[in-house]
Amino acid sequence: MNGATTGGSSLALPTHPSSRQGRRGLFALALLAVGASFVALGMGAVGIAPIQTLAILAGKLGVDGIAEFASNQQGVLLSIRLPRVLLSAAVGAALAISGAAMQGLFRNPLADPGLVGISSGAALAATATIVLGEALALELAEGARILLLPFAAFLGSLVTTFLVWRVATRSGHTAVATMLLAGIALNALAGAGTGVLTLLATDPQLRTLTFWTLGSLNGATWPALWVVLSMTAPALLLIPRLSRALNALLLGEADARHLGIEVERVKLAIVLLTALAVGATVAACGMIGFVGLAAPHLIRLLLGADHRVLLPGAALLGAALLVIADLAARTMVAPAEIPIGIVTALLGAPFFLWLMLREVERGGGLR
Amino acid sequence: MIAAETVTVRAGDRALLDRVSVEARCGEVLAILGPNGAGKSTLLRALSGEREPDAGRVCMGGRRLSAWTLVERARVRAVVPQESALAFPLSVLDVVLMGRTPHVQRRETVHDEHVGWLALQAVGLSTFATRRYPTLSGGEKQRVHLARALAQIWDARGERYLLLDEPTSGLDIARQHEALSLLRRLAHDLSRTAVAVVLHDLNLAAQYADRILLMRGGQAIACGNPTVVLTEENLRRIFGVEAVIVPHPRAALPLVVPLSGNALAMEKIE
């Protein structure tokens, strides 16, 4: 029972089974994300074969002669499809990792940036910017306009998050149930605010708003991509570093503290990082539901709930899912586009239900 | 040694703990007994630092508990909760390895995993390593958390502390005795571990505890050797039960035999 005996034991120790499975799973998911991106880069009004895609990208890096391609193919790929696919991937990854982190933080697989009011707060602020701020934005330079919407959305998500936080926190302790309930109330309030603004909107604004409420990656440009990347990078890079703390938090906050985790600091970090990331995605392409909920769930079903695998896994799967969904959104009824929010629900919900039922029948259950 | 010194804990106007002083010494098992609402769990929470005392203080290893950082505490002191909120599909081994959290820098080493396996073996669950935690029975879950706590302080240097809140409530009789004798061995091994455990079963406490603390209404009523503390008078005063104490047939231990209503009536007729 003491330290000296642990070294010389004759026990045959199996290697940790889930870590091996996790590495394989992550590798497969990375392949899926890259593969989906390649397919998405080639498909659309202008067809580009995978080898041509490779040739154009390599040409950009100074390696020529892999394959022949037309200049319009190059133009479409570099200025339209590449930023759009990368934006889909970044948004999908950010939504999925935020969802996974909040579910861990709240110990509730239903938690999602949408549920705690982060998305709707961002949406309210962004709507207000579109409807009320048009006059103001016209005065601003092009560069500033691109930043205005994400910044407003981030402020919106931050304000709602802190309101929820304040309501739920008593003497340094955050009650999760209260936080979820407060989130639901603020969701309703933000929804009402967005509704009022819709009534005030002009017809062209209304079209923008409708499309935007259902989600669209139509506005993907390189500058928009850089804004989203810079706002989601902190979440994507820093949240995985909290995976050990999130694992401990699954036991409950008291037990996590007994394991040496500074729970309040972890909470603050996750709330700030997700508010930043989700605000950026809402500003860039509206409210895209389901990814933040579904991607982490699927990873839990496939690879288990260990956050060291779950967080990167959810990010990769979220990226792949959104790239595929956006591909479907822009090709299914071309030249028109379906809002991506509809596609994510149509593609994901039945699959998700099937997986869930399978798991319940096996006796595992989601809980 | 982990010690409460005249600790008072209030919830509103009500005192959950009223100037309780007790010490769990290294090398011994301290059993905390008392009726429901006596303040047993609150005392454990105060000892673990989960609940800051409103008056008095808690010391661990001669130092005020508040002077320890959370990680410092976690490296030498483990807590086994009454029940856990864990509902996510982690494997049993993953749950046990959570106990290594305060020791791990970046990722678990082979040594950490080794400790995890040994802790699982110690509670008799080594064949359960890959099972998903939510599919276990209540008693199995309790043993997983006991293994997690063991893994946490397994190789801690110097004094170690283990606090447990009714770790045997879901266990069958064989597992109860296994768990308690494991705690006793842990405490007595090199005499450097202090075990404080909340129990309900008086005879289990009598068999395995070195000392017993009897609590009622947030107060420490009696504390000491099982033979001294488990008296008919104390049981009547604290639990409100009529019982006779008989000598254990095989060991120098007291055996508590509670008298049912029927038995009391019979006595009167006779």
pLDDT tens digits, one per residue of B95-127: 999 999 999 887 888 999 999 999 999 999 999
In sequence order, which residues have a C-beta less than 8 Å from that of residue A307 and are 6 or more positions away? A100, A104, A240, A242, A243, A244, A246, A247
Whole-number pLDDT of residue B105: 81
Residues in chain A: 367
Chain B partners within 8 Å of A9 (Cβ): 114, 118
B5 touches chain A (CB under 8 A): no
Are the C-beta atoms of residues A19 and A67 closer than 8 Å to each other?
no
Residue A69 banded pLDDT, cuts 50, 70, 90: confident
Of A18, A259, A301, the CB nearest to B101: A259
Quote the CA–CA distance of B114 and B165 in Å, as a whole number: 26
pLDDT in tens, A161-177: 778 777 877 655 667 67
DSSP state of A13: P
Mutate to test the interface with A, among B98, B118, B144, B164 (most CBs of A within 10 A): B98
Whole-number pLDDT of residue B92: 94
Residue B218 banded pLDDT, cuts 50, 70, 90: very high
At A351 the three-state DSSP class reads helix
Q: Which residue of A has its CA nearest to B79?
A: A258
Chain A partners within 8 Å of B134 (Cβ): 364-365, 367
Query: Looking at the DSSP assignment, which residues form a beta bridge with residue B24?
Result: B2
Average pLDDT over residues A19-28: 86
Chain B partners within 8 Å of A261 (Cβ): 70, 101
Count of other CB atoms within 10 angstroms of residue B117? 23
Which is nearest to A219 in space by CA: A315, A123, A283?
Answer: A283
pLDDT tops 90 at residue A342: no
Quote the CA–CA distance of A101 and A311 in Å, as a whole number: 7
Residue B199 banded pLDDT, cuts 50, 70, 90: very high
- Lowest-confidence region among A132-136, A285-289, B196-200: A132-136
CB atoms A260 and B186 under 8 Å: no
Interface subset of A 92-111, CB within 8 angstroms of B = 107, 109
Residue A147 banded pLDDT, cuts 50, 70, 90: confident
Residue A59 banded pLDDT, cuts 50, 70, 90: confident
Average pLDDT, chain A: 82
Return the half-sphere exposure (C-beta side, CA atoms, 13 A cut-off) of residue B184: 15
CB burial class (10 A; 0-12, 13-18, 19+) of residue B152? buried
pLDDT in tens, B152-196: 999 888 899 999 999 998 899 999 999 999 999 999 987 789 999
Tokens of A33: 């994300």
Count of A-B CB contacts under 8 Å: 123
Interface subset of B 47-66, CB within 8 angstroms of A = 48-50
Average pLDDT over residues B195-203: 95
**Percent of chain A predicted with pLDDT > 90:** 28
What ipTM is given for this predicted complex?
0.91
pLDDT in tens, B4-59: 999 999 998 899 999 999 999 999 999 999 999 999 999 999 999 999 999 999 99
Quote the CA–CA distance of B63 and B86 in Å, as a whole number: 32
Whole-number pLDDT of residue B267: 62
pLDDT tops 60 at residue A7: no
Of B94, B102, B154, the CB nearest to A306: B94
CB atoms A305 and B89 under 8 Å: yes
Which residue do the tokens 């340094």 mark? A172
A1 touches chain B (CB under 8 A): yes
Quote the CA–CA distance of A246 and A205 in Å, as a whole number: 42
Count of other CB atoms within 10 angstroms of residue A64? 8
Encoded amino acid at A298, one letter: L
Count of other CB atoms within 10 angstroms of residue B172? 10
Whole-number pLDDT of residue B78: 96
Are the C-beta atoms of residues A215 and A339 closer than 8 Å to each other?
yes
At B221 the three-state DSSP class reads strand
Whole-number pLDDT of residue A8: 38
Tell me which architecture the domain covering A32-355 has in CATH: Orthogonal Bundle (1.10)
Q: Strand B55-60's sheet: what is its strand order?
A: B14-24, B2-11, B55-60, B63-64
Whole-number pLDDT of residue A355: 67
Count of other CB atoms within 10 angstroms of residue B249? 7
Chain B partners within 8 Å of A242 (Cβ): none
CA dihedral for B38, B39, B43, B44, sign (positive or negative): positive
Whole-number pLDDT of residue A310: 94
Which residue do the tokens 């570093």 mark? A241
Measure the CA dihedral A50/A52/A54/A59, to 10°: -170
H helical segments located in B29-100: 40-48, 70-76, 92-98
Q: Which residue of B has its CA nearest to A258?
A: B74
Are the C-beta atoms of residues B72 and B103 closer than 8 Å to each other?
no
At B256 the three-state DSSP class reads strand
Whole-number pLDDT of residue A162: 78
Whole-number pLDDT of residue A366: 44
| Cis preceding-peptide flag for A350 (omega within 30 of 0) | no
Tokens of A294: 């579904």
CB atoms B70 and A364 under 8 Å: no
Which is nearest to A69 in space by CA: A50, A82, A56?
Answer: A56
Quote the CA–CA distance of B87 and A305 in Å, as a whole number: 10
pLDDT in tens, A97-119: 999 998 888 777 767 777 777 88
Buried b (16+ CB within 10 A) or exposed e, B131-148: ebbbebeebbbbbbbbbb
- Of A1-15, A187-201, B157-171, which one has max mean pLDDT? B157-171
Return the half-sphere exposure (C-beta side, CA atoms, 13 A cut-off) of residue A191: 11
Nearest-10 crossing angle of helices A263-285, A142-168: 140
B152 touches chain A (CB under 8 A): yes
Residue A367 banded pLDDT, cuts 50, 70, 90: very low
Whole-number pLDDT of residue A362: 62
pLDDT tops 90 at residue B260: no
Which is nearest to B215 in space by CA: B12, B13, B15?
Answer: B15
Whole-number pLDDT of residue A289: 77
CB atoms B101 and A244 under 8 Å: yes
CB burial class (10 A; 0-12, 13-18, 19+) of residue A12? exposed
Chain B partners within 8 Å of A365 (Cβ): 134
pLDDT tops 80 at residue B243: yes
Question: Which of A165 and A262 is assigned the larger pLDDT?
Answer: A262
